[in-house]
Amino acid sequence: MRTFISRIIVLTASMLLRTLLVQAQGFVWTPGLQQAYADLQKLETQSSQQVLARESANNGVRIFVEDYLDMLSLVTSDDDRLFTAISDREDDRLDALKKLDNTSPWQRVLLAEVRLHWAFVKLKFGKEVSASWDVIRAYKLLAENQKRFPAFLPTYKSLGTLHIMIGSVPDNYVWVANLLGLHGNIQEGQQELQRARQDPTFGLEARLIDLMVRAYVLKFTDADGQSLKRLVSDHPNNLLLHFFGATIEQKNGHSEQALAYLASRPTGKNYMALPVIENVLGDIYLQKSEYATAITHFNQFLTTYEGRNFLKDSYYKLFLCQWLANQPDAVSRPFIQKVTSVGRTTVESDKAAQKFAESYLQRGASANQKILMRARLASDGGFTDSALAYLQPYTEAKFPTIAEKAEYNYRIGRIFQRRNEPDSAISWLTRALVLSEPEQLSFGATAALQLGYIYKQKNDRTRARSFFQKAISFKHHEYKNSVDNKARAALSQF
């Protein structure tokens, strides 16, 4: 009997001590919260919600995980009404976290994570100024945490990401970053992401961010593609990895691999709905010139999606499906007219759709533009045989305007580059650069960037540096920020 009572006393004391520790520290990764966060990283939201309901409301980790769930809900739905309804939760959660133990290294990390969640959300909803302040405050929190707790690995996932972002800021904005106290470079950020990959909590996220940096800021290599394939393969039930794997590979001209990731993605009612996948599938089949299938996916996206982003883009692509299939103007024109009256121009693809629609409705498009568009779409998807077949019957003389001549040369150069024939690509890209420079056409900036990559691969550092600098020198074209970011990132590696 005494043994039984002793055990009860010990158990009660242990439970009391654990409760006191939770109250004192305020940041406890309980088994339930670990599972909930892991499930959210896979976009399994239903099970996460059930777990969160059973966790202590005073635990800073629960506050963070709930915020992560809200962020995912907003960025996947683009629902303006939901954003309006729950946007005040940012301040509520920040206030709650500030009241918890400020001697814990988790406090500043989770405060920064919540700010970054809402920065991402606000960017999707066109609130750039407020998003920028969230990023600045998150940076300062993480930088302070690094000084106070330099061995605390969770700091480095987001701090590394921010250092890379700061390091790739165009030259004309560097003074702003310095004025705001933001410092960092790409190498430093990459090293910090490597450290974060060892963290059991944020390690998977750090691996994905590292690959996204390589895809969108640096140069995505075949070795990076293999790393991505292993990451997705190691997590077959992770919808988020399948989705980002597809978008990364599509961005880098490997749409067949992107299609494979989407075809093998996990499905089921426990996963968060991702209508944007239909938009991505529509893009891929448009690149493959399978217009009827592409139309089905774009229509499915428009039927299930409730947001305002990607609407212009989808109607523009529906127009392309009809226009490139040589349908009559009466069939294709309503889609391009729709572009100007729906959605908003927050994301790049919607901005591009709006620009094309305005030009087409004012001036129409020549048969030459249709040839170049077919080649562009096929090349962007990595279908280089088709892309080359579209252009081989023609010479530069076929295209009367400087812009068309420059694009013709650029497209052929990119096709050879994607086919791992850099020596064949050089003359075409050089010609595109020469044609583009007087009028500062975007084809010149992008051609210079690709020439920089080719010569860097050849270990001709002088020529590579010269072309990256040339890419940055182009002014006021529609891809300036992305081209400058990539060129600056490449220059920083010399």
Section 257-265 average pLDDT: 97
Q: How confident is the model at residue 140 (pLDDT cuts 50, 70, 90)?
A: very high
Q: How confident is the model at residue 25 (pLDDT cuts 50, 70, 90)?
A: low
Section 334-339 average pLDDT: 97
- What's the pLDDT at 179? 54
**Which three-class secondary structure string do you get for 47-68?**
HHHHHHCCCCCCCHHHHHHHHH
Lowest mean pLDDT across 17-31, 70-84, 394-408: 17-31
* pTM over the 0.75 mark: yes
Which structural domains are found in the chain, ordered by start?
30-263 (1.25.40), 275-356 (1.25.40.10), 366-494 (1.25.40.10)
- Average pLDDT, rounded, for the chain: 90
Q: How confident is the model at residue 171 (pLDDT cuts 50, 70, 90)?
A: low
Q: Is the pLDDT of residue 18 over 50?
A: no
Q: How confident is the model at residue 261 (pLDDT cuts 50, 70, 90)?
A: very high
Q: Is the pLDDT of residue 1 over 50?
A: no
Q: Percentage of the chain with pLDDT > 90? A: 75
9 or 193, higher pLDDT: 193
Q: How far apart are CA 257 and CA 278, in angstroms?
A: 16
Section 391-409 average pLDDT: 95
Question: Can you spell out the DSSP letters for 410-465?
Answer: HHHHHHHHHTT-HHHHHHHHHHHHHHHGGGT-HHHHHHHHHHHHHHHHTT-HHHHH
Lowest mean pLDDT across 15-19, 58-62, 238-242: 15-19
Section 24-37 average pLDDT: 87
Query: How many CB atoms neighbour CB 236 within 10 A?
Result: 11
Question: Can you spell out the DSSP letters for 166-215?
Answer: HHTS-GGGHHHHHHTT----HHHHHHHHHHHTT-TTTHHHHHHHHHHHHH
Tokens 């990364």 identify what position? Answer: 248
- What's the pLDDT at 3? 42
Q: How many residues appear in the chain? A: 494
In Å, what is the CA distance from 433 to each residue of 98, 309, 402, 417, 442?
54, 33, 11, 15, 9
- Taking Cα atoms as reference points, which of 469, 379, 441, 453 lies closest to residue 431? 441
- What's the pLDDT at 180? 62
- What's the pLDDT at 11? 37
